[in-house]
Amino acid sequence: MSSPRSEDSHPRDDATVVAHDEDKEMQRTEEKAATAPASPAAAPSVPDGGRTAWLTVLGCFLAFFASFGFVTGYGVFQSYYEGILPSYSSDDISWIGSFQLWAITGMALPSVILSAHVGPHVTLAIGTFLTVFGVMMASISKEYYQLLLSHGICTGLGIGLTFMPIVGLPNQWFSKRRGLAVGLALGGSSVGGVIWPVVFNQMVNHDRISYGWTMRTIGFLQLALMGTAIALIRSNVPRNKAVKLSSFHKPLMMAVKSVGVVLFALGLLLHFFGIYVPYFYAPAYAQSLGASPYTAFWVSAVLNAATFFGRFALGAVSDSLGHGNTLLVSVVVSAALAFAWQGVSSAAGIFVWVVFYGFFSGASVSLQSPAIVPLVPNPKLQLMGPYIAILCSFSSFGSLGGSPIAGRLLRSSAMGKAAPGPEDFHGMMYFTGGILFASCAFYIAARATYERNPLAKA
């Protein structure tokens, strides 16, 4: 009678076979740990409040203030750099801010893997060093390539490392009040988008402080804010050193086979392609209408202030209306406002326009993650993190290319002129509106696949 186990016929290889089996079992365990959530018995409790939880939210608020808020306020730097670098076009200069926008989501996978191995504190410390170092180097930069390397690439990489680790921390500490906690944390980016343009505008245009010392002041403030954030935040889940780049292979393969996820990803790409164009060029458009540099710089602050209220108001509405429905409404209105932008003919009018555009565009960005939830196959908690990281990485290329293309349209229209007039911005306005309407079409198609997918509703 033959033995059911092959090793019985080779006694001398027992140790080798057992070791081989253990290696295979360990490999399977690591692969499961990389994507599967902890078992209910081992899962950490969610206090849904308490001193540590709220201090973590405060720390995330300060981190977003210093990092993401600095990026959304780039419009003031776009206008200033165009003035001190007259030999470079708007689309050339916009690459500085576009790289920062790309890095926020483009660094999703590296930052998630790094945080899983060394924890959010070390990850934020590395990101803080790169961010502050880039700002300090920008303060002594004179040439375009120096500003691109310092303000764009170095600072962008630093901010990109901080974004994903801190965006998930409030979810670890809150359940019933998760929306409030995440909203308060993300509100730091809106407040930062208001404060940084005001600081730069006040110091450079009003107090006549040099650009160098203004940037150094910003760098020191970022260092203080990020240092405080690192001291305040706490993680509520253990590190998972089994997470590595290969851990995202299976979720990626599942995502590309899902029609709904692919359609949503394309909508997301186009969304980021167009949504930030006014954030870069609204101050320049105000100057083309006759506004002074000091007045035009306030346009960026008002625009970002409006995003703060839009995220909270439409975020609350989405809980009853539906996240996907509210996302569609906000993108449609943003696209319509982009076309209506050309109707603004005065400096006062641009302030009214940016209030409405900031309100709806800010909400549209915040609603993207909740809208993807119904498209993620069960079990949602197991695949949600990898899906969001993958979609962020894909959509980041829209942030990279949209503003430079809009700047190229502006340059082509203003060819031969000393300064662009209001009519020269019409091309980028049509581009922004058209891209956003195209994004809506993909979102609608993705939503239709959800309606036909009973598993997603389970």
- CA 417/CA 75 separation, integer angstroms: 22
- CA 185/CA 348 separation, integer angstroms: 32
Residue 42's pLDDT is 44
- CA 275/CA 410 separation, integer angstroms: 17
- CA 314/CA 402 separation, integer angstroms: 25
> What is residue 46's three-state secondary structure?
coil
Residue with tokens 């409790």: 45
DSSP calls for 302-350: HHHHHHHHHHHHHHHHHHHH-HHHHHHHHHHHHHHHHHHGGG--SHHHH
Helices (H), 36-89: 51-66, 68-72, 75-84
In contact, 113 and 244? CB cutoff 8 Å: yes
Q: How many other C-beta atoms lie within 10 A of the C-beta of residue 406?
A: 28
Instruction: Kindly provide the b/e burial profile for residues 23-40, where b requires at least 16 CB atoms within 10 angstroms of the residue's own CB.
Output: eeeeeeebbeebbeeeee
Question: Inter-axis angle of helices 293-321 and 178-201, to 10 degrees?
Answer: 170
- Token pair of 73, please? 């306020």
Q: Name the superfamily (CATH) of residues 247-458.
A: MFS general substrate transporter like domains (1.20.1250.20)
In contact, 78 and 284? CB cutoff 8 Å: yes
Residue 29's pLDDT is 42
In contact, 237 and 115? CB cutoff 8 Å: no
Cis peptide before 4 (omega within 30 of 0): no
> What is residue 273's three-state secondary structure?
helix
Give me the torsion for CA of 206, 211, 212, 216, rounded to 10°: 60
Overall size of the chain counted in residues: 458
Give me the torsion for CA of 364, 99, 256, 264, rounded to 10°: 10
Residue 456's pLDDT is 42
In contact, 60 and 233? CB cutoff 8 Å: yes
Residues of the chain with CATH 1.20.1250.20: 47-243, 247-458
Which residue pairs from 84-91 have beta carbons closer than 8 angstroms and sit at least 24 positions apart in sequence? 84/211, 85/144, 85/147, 88/144, 89/407, 89/408, 89/411, 90/281, 90/284, 90/407, 90/410, 90/411, 91/403, 91/404, 91/405, 91/406, 91/407, 91/408, 91/410, 91/411
Q: How many other C-beta atoms lie within 10 A of the C-beta of residue 423?
A: 11
Q: Name the superfamily (CATH) of residues 47-243.
A: MFS general substrate transporter like domains (1.20.1250.20)
Question: Inter-axis angle of helices 293-321 and 323-340, to 10 degrees?
Answer: 150
- Token pair of 428, please? 């980028």
Q: Over its length of 458 residues, how does the chain's per-residue pLDDT go in tens digits?
A: 444 444 444 444 444 444 444 444 444 544 444 444 444 434 456 677 788 889 999 999 999 999 989 998 888 898 889 889 988 988 899 899 999 988 888 888 888 888 888 888 999 999 999 999 999 999 999 999 999 999 999 999 999 998 888 877 887 787 666 666 777 887 888 889 889 988 998 898 788 899 999 999 999 999 999 999 999 998 877 766 656 666 666 766 776 677 888 888 899 999 999 999 999 899 889 989 988 877 887 888 899 889 888 887 887 788 778 878 889 999 999 999 999 999 999 988 999 999 999 999 988 887 887 777 677 665 444 566 677 777 778 888 888 888 889 988 998 998 878 788 999 999 999 999 999 999 999 999 988 876 554 444 43
In contact, 352 and 172? CB cutoff 8 Å: no
- CA 284/CA 341 separation, integer angstroms: 13
Going by C-alpha positions, the residue among 181, 175, 192, 167 that lies closest to residue 392 is 167
- CA 168/CA 409 separation, integer angstroms: 37
Which helix H or strand E contains 197, and what residues bound it?
helix 178-201
